Amino acid sequence: MASSSTSSSKKLAAIISRPARPEVQRTVPELLKWLLAHGYQVIVDPETAKYSNGHEEVPRPQMSSRALDLVVVLGGDGTLLSAVRATAAIDVPLLGVNLGSLGFLTDVPLSSLYSMLDSIAHGSAAVEHRSLLQCDLLRGDEILGSYTVFNDAVVNKTALARLNHYHLFVDKMFVSSYRADGMIVATPTGSTAYSLSAGGPVLMPTVNAFVITPVAPHALTHRPLVVPDSAVVEILLRGEEVAYLSLDGQPGLDLRDGDRVRCHRSEHRVSLFHTDTDFFHVLRTKLKWGER
C-alpha cells in the first residue's frame, strides 16, 4: 500500500466506476462523504466524475502515477479488471463492489459497502492477494510489448482461419506441438474465465500456479497443464494463418509466424478486500453447482 510522505499528508483514494449504471449516481455522493470524513483526498475516473461534484478527474491509465492508498471499484468483474490494469504497478489494494449479481472478483455487494469501508478504516478487513502474469510479445530478439495480465493471455486464430501450430515451452523445456484454435495461459484468478470454458480446471485463487489450456486441440490427448507460477511459459507461433494475442479479453494484437509470447509471474500482485463469502460459495452461485 502506498504511504504518505509526511504524517500530516492525507491518504489518497480513487473511485473507478462502470459507466451508465444508475447505482453509480446514487452511490458516489455518499461514498465521497465517507472518504472525506475519514481523511482521504479523492480522485475519480471520467465515468465517476459526472457525479463527483468537482473532484479531480484522472484517466484510468494515469492513476498509477499517483500514490494511492485505496481504490474503490463500483461495477462488476470487467470494471475491476480495468482497474487492476490501471493500478497494478503501484500495488494498491482494491475494494470491488458489485452492482449486479455476485462476481468472481467483486464479491462485496453494494449493501455491504460501508461495513467494508469501516473494516478497512479499523484495519480489520480481510485481504486476498492474487498473482499477475507479465507477458512479453517477441518478434525475433525484439520485445514488441510487455503487458500485465490479471486473468489470461490468449493466442487465438480468427474465426475463418484454419488451425494454427503452437510450440509450447516451460522453463525453456519443449513440452509439445499443438494444432489448435488457440492457447491460453491463465492465472488462478483467470482459471474460471476462458480457460474454464475451454475445458481447463478451476484453481483456487491462492494456488501458486498457472494453467495452460489448448483451445479445441486437434489431438484429443492434449489436455490442460498446470505449472508452478515460478515457471516461464513460452508459446511459439508457427503457421501462415492469422493469429492474435488477447490480454484479459482486450482487443487482440496481430501476430506473425515466428512470434513468441513469453509469460511469467509479475513482480506485482493484486490485493483485494473481500467479505467472508468463500470461494466455493462463489463457484456454487456462478456455476450453478448443486447445493448439499
Nearest Cα to 152, choosing from 187, 183, 181? 187
| 288 CB-near residues (< 8 Å, 6+ apart) | none
Q: How many CB atoms lie within 10 A of CB 259?
A: 20
> pTM of this prediction?
0.89
Distance CA 171, CA 40 (A): 45
Residues 248-278 have pLDDT tens digits of 988 889 999 999 999 999 999 999 998 877 8
Residue 4 binned pLDDT confidence (cut-offs 50, 70, 90): very low
Q: What is the greatest pairwise CA distance in the chain?
A: 63
Q: In order of start, what are the domains of the chain with their CATH numbers?
A: 11-124 (3.40.50.10330), 133-266 (2.60.200.30)
Residues 36-86 have pLDDT tens digits of 999 999 999 999 999 998 899 999 999 999 999 999 999 988 899 999 999
Residue 1 binned pLDDT confidence (cut-offs 50, 70, 90): very low
Q: Which residues are annotated as catalytic?
A: 77
